[in-house]
Amino acid sequence: MTQAFASEELSTEEAQAAASACSREYRADPHPVYAKLRETAPVCPLTPPHGVETYLITRYEDARAALADPRLSKDMYGAIDAYHRIFGDSSIALDDNMLFSDPPKHTRLRRIVGNTFTPKRVESLRPRVQKITEDLLDRCPADEPVNLLPEFCFPLPLQVICELLGVPQNERKRAQEWSATVARTGFGPEARKKLEIAEGNLRDYLVDLIARKRKEPDGALLSALVTAKDEDGALTDHELVSTAWVILFAGHKTTAYQIGNAVHHLLAEPEQRRLAFKDERATAAAIEEIFRFESSVENATFRYAKEDIVIRDTLIPKGALVQISLTAANRDPEAFDAPDRMDVTRPNVQGTHLTFGYGAHYCIGSPLARLEMQTALTTLFGRYPHMATVGAPEEARWLTVPFPAFRGLAELLVTLDPS
């Protein structure tokens, strides 16, 4: 059994695979690295750039089981030393939410949020999502190159999630800037200092916004959360701030990169694009395949082992941090035929891919992500059916931060109407 992180205790092939998973070079195309890890070290001990030893799970069967394994805790207060080494002390104030908790606390928080963040509330946003999409495209030049990431992919889900929460229009830019800093691009002292400042600003802003919603409630989600309660009571002020933060952050970064990934791959494969937009049912199926093929959420958020756990032949010792690669699991040939091929007609993908997780922590915002993806893609390609990338698709620049939370493009240059 593998029980330590010393490279000499791994085989040469396993050590090479682990080193590749921490290199900057693999960012342009991590899939060959993940394929090697699935084959040679499916539960791989490695030390990522943040410096804290981690076990990385890459096979679909193991990943699905681990996502629902109660022995792998999401409560980072239990792994406080490792957590502080990665994120610093200031992050704790924003992480008292359902994403970073276990039952029974997680059950209570998810129940309260779920009672307000309902499918009916999400569906009611459809006209606004459509209007925001059209307004953003109206501002994009049709006959010259445009970077869709800052002009379309990011503003769309940010505007939607801010409207959902009830963030005033004139305050959204600041919230976006602080959120972007929190999704930092490094682990050094300078990056950590910027992170602490942004987290403090964001926390103070949310405290003030919640106070305003309590004084003058509106019909938005944040007002509903302020007044929501169940048999165990209402959310505390600390929980309200942290819950608002996780909805704001997770509700736009993930979808923004996912829209970009979808546009990139559909432009690269015209026949797949044609099949994807035959009708509404085909589009819904295509979106699920894109979620599988190039998930914007590369790794699930950290878990830690509450006890010694053996997965395959690897011992994960009590207290160790664990990351589950959703990207690797979604390309596992034992789970999907020809997984490295995007096939928008692939059957039964929804409910099988792990992009939204699995088990108790399955993404509560998945209906909104699907609504935004469907609206963005059908409107964009419907308006600009001859849209083309600037440069060859294979030359696209991807995020180059080693071992990131997100898998997405660094830019998405297109000409909307080449004619």
Other C-beta atoms closer than 10 Å to the C-beta of 68 total 13
Residue 49's pLDDT band, with cuts at 50, 70 and 90, is low
Residues of the chain with pLDDT > 70, as a percent, come to 85
Question: Greater confidence, 283 or 82?
Answer: 283
pLDDT digits (tens, 9 = 90+) for 1-25: 334 444 446 676 766 666 666 666 6
Determine the pLDDT at residue 8. 42
Q: What is the CA radius of gyration of the chain?
A: 21
Query: Domains (ranges, CATH) in the chain?
Result: 7-415 (1.10.630.10)
Q: Is residue 28 pLDDT above 80, yes or no?
A: no
Residue type, 146: V
* Distance (Å, whole) CA 138 – CA 134: 6
Q: β-strands 321-324, 54-57: how paired?
A: parallel
CA dihedral (54, 60, 62, 65) positive or negative = positive
Q: Is residue 61 pLDDT above 90, yes or no?
A: yes
Determine the pLDDT at residue 200. 83
Q: What value does the mean pLDDT of the chain take?
A: 87
Question: Greater confidence, 316 or 76?
Answer: 316
pLDDT digits (tens, 9 = 90+) for 358-401: 999 999 999 999 999 999 999 999 999 999 999 888 888 888 76
Determine the pLDDT at residue 24. 64
Assess contact for 412 and 147: CB atoms under 8 A. yes
Taking alpha carbons only, the member of 152, 157, 149, 127 closest to residue 138 is 152
Residue type, 347: P
* Distance (Å, whole) CA 365 – CA 367: 6
* Distance (Å, whole) CA 352 – CA 63: 12
Question: Greater confidence, 184 or 165?
Answer: 165
> What does pTM read for this prediction?
0.91
Q: Is residue 297 pLDDT above 70, yes or no?
A: yes
Residues 6+ apart with CB under 8 A from 352: 292, 335, 336
* Distance (Å, whole) CA 396 – CA 416: 17
Determine the pLDDT at residue 249. 81
DSSP 71: T
pLDDT digits (tens, 9 = 90+) for 313-350: 899 999 889 999 999 999 999 999 999 999 999 999 99
Quote the tokens at residue 15: 């050590």
Other C-beta atoms closer than 10 Å to the C-beta of 183 total 14
Quote the tokens at residue 80: 């406080």
pLDDT digits (tens, 9 = 90+) for 139-149: 999 999 999 99
Say if residue 416 is exposed, middle or buried (CB neighbours under 10 Å; 0-12, 13-18, 19+): buried
